[in-house]
């Protein structure tokens, strides 16, 4: 008997980690594969179905393996959960005393220097801002870590935290007068000393990007890396391997330069003139944006939010943007030269010199049309301004370079890595064709616990008001009346969320027992907690609610997904990837869009069944899932629920599987929905 089998046995040490433990063969198989991967410095891709217990399946082998380890997960919330709940339970159960630490990005830690500067200036637009900032100051005297998530008196989303935390661009580094008390430095020191370090994907990819650009490193060297929630890693890595410069960053540089220049080098230059010239050039970019927003035709930008590839601009628009960017570059160059000449006069001026140089290099890189053909240049517009981006649309080679820097074992796992039982798509994205693969099946009886409904009569999924038509259908209305637990309405766009919210306003008048929650009304964690505690609420949200939401029990009994979650076809990065894919002789829709939509759909459907006792219905309001070849391919990736296209059968299923009622036999499979 292997040591892991003893540990995970029904009465073994892991069973004492908390109430409700039960032996799962899939968990043991996964743990044994991970242990082998760690011992042999190999790479493993693993899909762990809901309920397998993947967290314990990788934490136990890590604690039994010699060497330093990093565990990376998708969000800061999951970091805290791992560090504060899961790690202590496993350490106690195994009786081990390894040193552990958690490390987040610098923006999550209080910066005493910037806090003091803000306190001295004392300029707050609202009285409540002054109150909240006083809470931050009080927190600074109480905290041992400086982690802003510990300060319950000030919301994490508050803009005041930007005045009391640092970024890589505004950190004074070794020149900071409060360096000896720096919370970021202390956290990094704890990370360097830890045997097992918990980070998030953004920090992991930021470290890779900084090493690649020659800026040093954030994370210590380790022997093993485990990437949980790995399905989101390719998109995050793409973001960090990109270069960008925004009007916000440029305006911030101008404001800081004016204030710091007048304070520490008043005689060096006409700071108002220099900074004013940069601000005027930024305003010219905004003026072009405003003109484009009122234009009809293919080059129209969807103001105030939109994306457009550089190669989609007309010849005249290209010249206008080249002229505007040239003016920004000229003003930025003049400011950078003064920063450089005066950098030794104060640490803040040295910091501005480095920041202006970096922005200038990024702006020049964006304007360079001779660079890597694997990059796409595009612009993103929002209410806050313009961001210029240069993004690699294929990152496999780049990611492989990062993995090869130091030989180590890599374990990447998620509940949604495979598509119809294959890992090909994820492997291609990151260049992992030689990696070992494993699927650990869920212990849940999905056919008995859940029903998948794709109604026969559905509106055209390409209709702009598809969600409104769907929610007004008689069959959907009957289901919403019949279900006694909570309801998720998961939408594929923010516009659909708005239309669904309009419908809910009218619907709620005749359903006062339902508490209506809509994305944007409150922070996501607050909405989820309100949903859980109410028990029969209706929550409307877009992609941020499709994954990472765990609502076991009757509080969630029905998940309605408006349509298949395909990415917008005009997305600049997707267009570039598609063109490159087709140049290789492949069909971009089948090779890119279908797999990525399948993974996201799998995440959304996965919100429903979270425990052995859960029961519920998933409704997908898109007939393409049942009536197209690619839809049926996506269907094969979903849990093996009972399936029907008949709304009346779904109502009967709900009646037989309501609260405190035994499960009905799963005899509803429709031929069109057989996988």
Mind giving me the DSSP string for 98-146?
--EEE---GGGBB-HHHHHHHHHH---SSHHHHHHHHHHHHHHTT-SS-
Percentage of the residues of the chain whose pLDDT score is greater than 70? 94
- Averaged pLDDT for residues 96-117: 95
Nearest to 609 by CA among 564, 664, 554: 554
pLDDT of residue 334: 96
CATH class of 446-673: alpha beta
Cα distance between residue 187 and residue 109, in whole Å: 9
CATH topology match: 243-392 vs 446-673:
no
Over 60: is that where the pLDDT of 597 sits?
Answer: yes
**Could you tell me the pLDDT band of residue 100, with boundaries at 50, 70 and 90?**
very high
Over 50: is that where the pLDDT of 237 sits?
Answer: yes
pLDDT of residue 341: 96
Over 50: is that where the pLDDT of 664 sits?
Answer: no
Over 70: is that where the pLDDT of 298 sits?
Answer: no
Q: Domain 3-99+194-240+401-440 falls in which CATH fold?
A: Rossmann fold (3.40.50)
Q: What are phi and psi of 621, to 5 degrees?
A: -85, 45
pTM for the full model?
Answer: 0.91
**Could you tell me the pLDDT band of residue 302, with boundaries at 50, 70 and 90?**
very low
- Averaged pLDDT for residues 631-638: 95
Q: What are phi and psi of 412, to 5 degrees?
A: -120, 120
Burial of 129 (0-12, 13-18, 19+ CB in 10 A): middle
* pLDDT, tens only, 321-347: 999 999 999 999 999 999 999 999 999
| Domain edges within the chain | 3-99+194-240+401-440, 106-181, 243-392, 446-673
Over 60: is that where the pLDDT of 153 sits?
Answer: yes
* pLDDT, tens only, 382-419: 877 899 999 998 999 999 998 988 889 999 999 999 99
pLDDT of residue 303: 40
- Averaged pLDDT for residues 437-466: 96
**Could you tell me the pLDDT band of residue 171, with boundaries at 50, 70 and 90?**
very high
- Averaged pLDDT for residues 569-592: 92
Please check whether residue 540 is in contact with residue 500, taking contact to mean a CB–CB distance below 8 angstroms.
yes
Cα distance between residue 584 and residue 513, in whole Å: 55
Q: What is the mean pLDDT of the chain?
A: 91
**Could you tell me the pLDDT band of residue 667, with boundaries at 50, 70 and 90?**
very low
**Could you tell me the pLDDT band of residue 668, with boundaries at 50, 70 and 90?**
low
Over 50: is that where the pLDDT of 666 sits?
Answer: no
- Averaged pLDDT for residues 156-178: 91
Over 50: is that where the pLDDT of 271 sits?
Answer: yes
Cα distance between residue 493 and residue 522, in whole Å: 18
Over 70: is that where the pLDDT of 213 sits?
Answer: no
Over 80: is that where the pLDDT of 372 sits?
Answer: no
pLDDT of residue 249: 94
**Could you tell me the pLDDT band of residue 642, with boundaries at 50, 70 and 90?**
very high
Task: Return the residue matching tokens 């969600």.
Answer: 467
Q: Characterise 336 by phi-psi region: left (phi > 0), alpha (psi -120 to 50), beta (else).
A: alpha
**Could you tell me the pLDDT band of residue 636, with boundaries at 50, 70 and 90?**
very high
Please check whether residue 601 is in contact with residue 430, taking contact to mean a CB–CB distance below 8 angstroms.
no
* pLDDT, tens only, 45-70: 999 999 999 999 999 999 999 999 99
CATH class of 243-392: mainly alpha
**DSSP letter, residue 237:** H
Asked whether the CA dihedral 429, 435, 436, 440 is positive or negative, the reply is: negative
Please check whether residue 212 is in contact with residue 402, taking contact to mean a CB–CB distance below 8 angstroms.
yes
Over 90: is that where the pLDDT of 193 sits?
Answer: yes
């Amino acid at each position: 008997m292997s040591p892991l089998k003893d540990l995970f046995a029904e009465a073994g040490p892991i069973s004492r980690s908390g109430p409700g433990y039960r032996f799962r063969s899939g968990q043991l198989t996964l743990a044994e594969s991970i242990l082998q991967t760690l011992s042999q410095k190999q790479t493993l891709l693993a899909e762990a179905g809901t309920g397998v217990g993947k967290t314990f399946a990788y934490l136990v082998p890590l604690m039994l393996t010699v060497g330093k380890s990093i565990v990376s997960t998708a969000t800061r919330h999951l970091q805290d959960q791992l560090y504060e709940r899961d790690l202590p339970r496993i350490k106690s159960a195994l009786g081990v005393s390894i040193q552990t630490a958690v490390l987040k990005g610098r923006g999550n830690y209080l910066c005493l220097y910037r806090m003091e500067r803000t306190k001295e200036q004392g300029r707050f637009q609202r009285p409540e801002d002054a109150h909240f900032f006083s809470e931050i100051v009080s927190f600074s005297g109480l905290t041992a870590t400086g982690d802003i998530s510990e300060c319950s008196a000030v919301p994490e989303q508050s803009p005041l935290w930007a005045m009391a935390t640092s970024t890589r661009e505004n950190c004074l580094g070794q020149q900071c007068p409060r360096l000896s008390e720096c919370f970021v430095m202390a956290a990094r020191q704890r990370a360097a000393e830890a045997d097992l370090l918990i980070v998030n994907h953004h920090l992991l990819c930021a470290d890779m990007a900084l090493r690649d650009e020659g800026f040093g490193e954030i994370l210590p060297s380790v022997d093993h890396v485990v990437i949980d929630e790995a399905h989101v890693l390719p998109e995050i890595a793409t973001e960090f391997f990109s270069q960008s410069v925004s009007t916000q960053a440029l305006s911030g540089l101008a404001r800081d330069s004016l204030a710091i220049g007048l304070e520490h080098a008043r005689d060096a230059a006409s700071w108002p003139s220099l900074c004013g010239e940069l601000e005027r050039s930024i305003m010219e970019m905004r003026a072009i944006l405003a003109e484009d927003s009122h234009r009809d035709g293919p080059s129209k930008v969807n103001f105030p939010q939109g994306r457009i590839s550089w190669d989609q601009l007309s010849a005249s628009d290209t010249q206008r943007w080249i002229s505007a960017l040239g003016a920004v570059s000229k003003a930025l160059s003049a400011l950078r030269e003064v920063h450089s000449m005066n950098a030794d006069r104060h640490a803040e001026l040295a910091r501005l010199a480095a920041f202006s140089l970096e922005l200038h290099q990024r702006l020049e890189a964006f304007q360079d049309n001779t660079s890597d053909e694997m990059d796409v240049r595009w612009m993103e517009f929002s209410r806050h301004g313009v961001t210029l981006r240069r993004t690699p649309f294929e990152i496999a080679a780049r990611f492989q370079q990062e993995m090869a820097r130091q030989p180590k074992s890599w374990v990447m796992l998620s509940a949604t890595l495979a598509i119809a039982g294959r890992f090909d798509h994820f492997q291609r994205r990151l260049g992992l064709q030689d990696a070992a693969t494993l699927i650990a099946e869920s212990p849940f009886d999905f056919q008995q616990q859940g029903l998948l409904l794709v109604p026969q009569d559905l509106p055209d999924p390409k209709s702009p008001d598809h969600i409104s038509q769907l929610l007004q259908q008689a069959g959907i209305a009957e289901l919403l009346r019949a279900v006694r637990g909570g309801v998720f309405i998961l939408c594929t766009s923010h516009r659909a969320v708005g239309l669904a919210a309009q419908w809910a306003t009218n619907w709620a008048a005749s359903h006062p027992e339902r508490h209506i929650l809509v994305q944007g009304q409150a922070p996501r964690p607050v909405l989820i907690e309100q949903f859980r505690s109410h028990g029969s609420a209706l929550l409307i949200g877009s992609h941020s609610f499709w994954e990472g939401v765990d609502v076991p029990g009757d509080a969630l009994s029905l998940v309605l997904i408006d349509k298949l979650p395909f990415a917008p076809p005009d997305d600049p990065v997707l267009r570039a990837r598609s063109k490159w894919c087709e140049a290789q002789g492949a069909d971009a829709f089948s090779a890119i869009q279908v797999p990525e939509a399948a993974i996201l759909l799998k995440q959304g459907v996965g919100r429903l069944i979270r425990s052995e006792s859960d029961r519920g219905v998933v409704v997908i309001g898109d007939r393409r899932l049942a009536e197209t070849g690619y839809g049926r391919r996506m269907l094969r990736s979903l849990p093996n629920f009972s399936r029907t296209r008949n709304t009346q059968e779904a109502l009967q299923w709900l009646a037989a599987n309501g609260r405190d009622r035994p499960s009905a036999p799963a005899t509803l499979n429709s031929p069109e929905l057989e996988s």
